[in-house]
Amino acid sequence: MSFSNTQDEQPRRRARNSPRRTRISKEPEERRQEIIETALTLFSEKGYENTTIQDISDRMNVSPGLFYRYFKSKTEIFAATSEYYAMKAVEQLKVPTSQDTPALEKLSLFIQQIFEYVMKHKEFEANYHEETEIRASRLDHVANEMAEVMIPIIEQGIAENVFHCKDVQRTTKFLVFGLIHTFHDDLPGIDTEDYIILFRDFMREVFSNILKIENWG
């Protein structure tokens, strides 16, 4: 006849008022992506400085220890989140339009899509200036992708005689890289929404002047 330790047989009790955590097994890449998307949401809602690792863990209903299996610090998750944010921003610009859609209408849609995406994530945008190295690499990546989207639009506008420039490639890169970096260099930590609205109008003015656009209603 065998005897067992009664204490070992009893289930371990949770501390009073401690939350229940239902652990759901997920593939590592799926879990990593979940952390990135959750962090993006919280950075957008609360800002970078006001978001903690504990906040991200609580939103996911997991322990902070799981977070550190994938990211060493908040700076590292901000870098990964910035990369994901840049990818989603570029996707936002690739809205399918008809071949019959005039170039000027496509350009207006292009600017509007940028405006809506940035406005939706204005708190996250406002924190790019806090991580200079991250900002530079991510913004250059976004600028390159945006230029690829815009080049066919400008070429179409030239063919339609509504845009006017001699070197499409350089003009496009000059516009995109200049505007993106200027936007983030001057982006304030407060009154961000007003700044974004004013910058949208500034973008239209710059495009109009450089591409010699007339009657852009």
Q: What percent of the chain has pLDDT over 70?
A: 81
**Top-ranked range on mean pLDDT: pick from 30-39, 74-83, 141-150:** 30-39
Q: How far apart are the first and last CA of the chain?
A: 92
Of 16-25, 101-110, 115-124, give the lowest mean pLDDT range. Answer: 16-25
CATH class of 79-210: mainly alpha
- The three-point CA angle 83-89-95 to 5° equals 145
Of 76-85, 137-146, 160-169, 204-213, give the lowest mean pLDDT range. Answer: 137-146
Can you give the pLDDT at residue 134? 61
Note whether 57 and 63 are within 8 A (CB): yes
Residue that is written with structure tokens 């913004």 in the block: 139
92-111: pLDDT as tens digits = 777 667 778 999 999 999 89
Of 14-28, 74-88, 189-203, give the lowest mean pLDDT range. Answer: 14-28
143-190: pLDDT as tens digits = 888 898 899 999 999 999 999 999 999 999 999 999 988 888 887 767
Burial class (CB in 10 A: 0-12, 13-18, 19+), 17: exposed
